Amino acid sequence: MSKRIGVDLGGTTAKLGVVTEQNEIIERKVIPTDKSLTFEETIAVLSEGILSMGDVGIVGFGVPSSLKPVSDIVIHANNLGWKNKDLRGELKKHLGNIPIFIANDADSAAVGEFFQGAGQGCQSMLMLTLGTGVGGGFIYQGRLYRGGNGCGFEPGHMIVQQDGVVCSCGLHGCLEAYCSATAIIREITACKKSLILQDMIAENDGKGNARMLFDAVRQDDRYAKSILEKYIHTLAIGIGSLTTILRPEIVVIGGGVSGAGDLLFDPLREEVKRTTFSYDVIGGAAIIPAALGNDAGIIGAALLDRVLI
């Protein structure tokens, strides 16, 4: 039987996987993505890697960019240095008639969790990825929601605080500006009162990371606790608003920050009850950690044909 291949395209590597009909990765390959290569060169290297995996029946791509509807033009993949690139057209030159499916990388990860991870058995699932940014994907009636005009779903740039902190996108007060790992690093770095946090940062050559916040909370540092409380409050507002608008059955939380486990999830579940419209009457969505880690993107990419119309 011909192979189903998923490609999770990132700024430093492309992760390829052969995915079975049971949604499991049985073969892997990692290809460095070198920003010094041209778009055409990168696609040539990628295509060679894909074809080397054997009898390819179908291939799906998760791309770190918004995409133009229908044409699948990559609007701007900053990490890859691609702007307005015809990914489908360029791939076709190498892959010929192999069916190609393309989606945003956060959407692909959501698709992976939906079929093989935390979302198994539901029909509508919101996934938020709390990493360098805040990404997300939404599955509605078993299909990937790509927006009414096909331009995709960007929950990280919903504004939760008018005229708030400047976001990487240029807007003020986006969810991403408060709930990414980057935002946590900003807050712990600025928190000079916490000797515990400052020691951790100093010991790491002056570089903070999100895990330090949770480590400091475990050490009962009150400044860290206050930062975490605010973080959870804002994240709950984001989840509450998204639940009020989309009404997913479940909310899956992935990305590096979700590794904090109960320290994040227990208070988050409580706080969301206070930030979701009519929670006592309508109820909310179950909030569940992602299950697949980095494999979600590969698996989801390989299964895109099942969720794209």
Interface positions, 176-215, toward its own copies (CB under 8 A): none
233 binds its own copies (CB under 8 A): yes
∠ CA 153-181-232 to the nearest 5 degrees?
85
The neighbour count for residue 13, using CB atoms within 10 Å, is: 13
- Span interacting with its own copies, options 25-33, 48-56, 119-127, 261-269, rule CB under 8 A: 119-127
166 binds its own copies (CB under 8 A): no
97 binds its own copies (CB under 8 A): no
Q: Which residues contact 304 (CB under 8 A, 6 or more apart)?
A: 60, 61, 101, 102, 103, 108, 111, 144
- Of 91, 241, 269, 304, which one interacts with its own copies (CB under 8 A)? 241
- Of 165, 245, 261, 273, which one interacts with its own copies (CB under 8 A)? 245
Q: Taking the complex as a whole, how short is the minimal distance between the CB of residue 160 and its own copies, in angstroms?
A: 6
Q: Which residues contact 40 (CB under 8 A, 6 or more apart)?
A: 90
159 binds its own copies (CB under 8 A): yes
Sign of torsion, CA 70 71 72 74? negative
Q: Is the Cβ of residue 109 or residue 158 nearer to its own copies in the bound state? A: 158
Sign of torsion, CA 243 107 254 141? positive
- Of 125, 128, 200, 296, which one interacts with its own copies (CB under 8 A)? 125
Q: Provide the terminal-to-terminal Cα distance of the chain, rounded to the nearest Å.
A: 24
CB distance 284 to 272 below 8 Å: yes
CB distance 147 to 165 below 8 Å: no
Q: Taking the complex as a whole, how short is the minimal distance between the CB of residue 228 and its own copies, in angstroms?
A: 16
- Of 31, 201, 227, 285, which one interacts with its own copies (CB under 8 A)? 285
Q: Taking the complex as a whole, how short is the minimal distance between the CB of residue 276 and its own copies, in angstroms?
A: 8
Task: Estimate to the nearest angstrom the gap between the alpha carbon of 238 and the chain centroid.
Answer: 15
| CA 190/CA 152 separation, integer angstroms | 34
Site size toward its own copies, by CB under 8 A: 48
Interface positions, 2-41, toward its own copies (CB under 8 A): none
Which amino acid, 44?
A: A
Q: Is the Cβ of residue 20 or residue 244 nearer to its own copies in the bound state? A: 244
Q: Taking the complex as a whole, how short is the minimal distance between the CB of residue 86 and its own copies, in angstroms?
A: 16
Tokens of 224: 């860290």
| CA 291/CA 125 separation, integer angstroms | 14
Q: Is the Cβ of residue 140 or residue 265 nearer to its own copies in the bound state? A: 140
Binding-site ranges for its own copies (CB under 8 A):
66, 75-76, 123-126, 140-141, 146-155, 157-162, 169, 171, 173-174, 233-234, 237, 240-242, 244-249, 274-275, 277-278, 281-282, 285
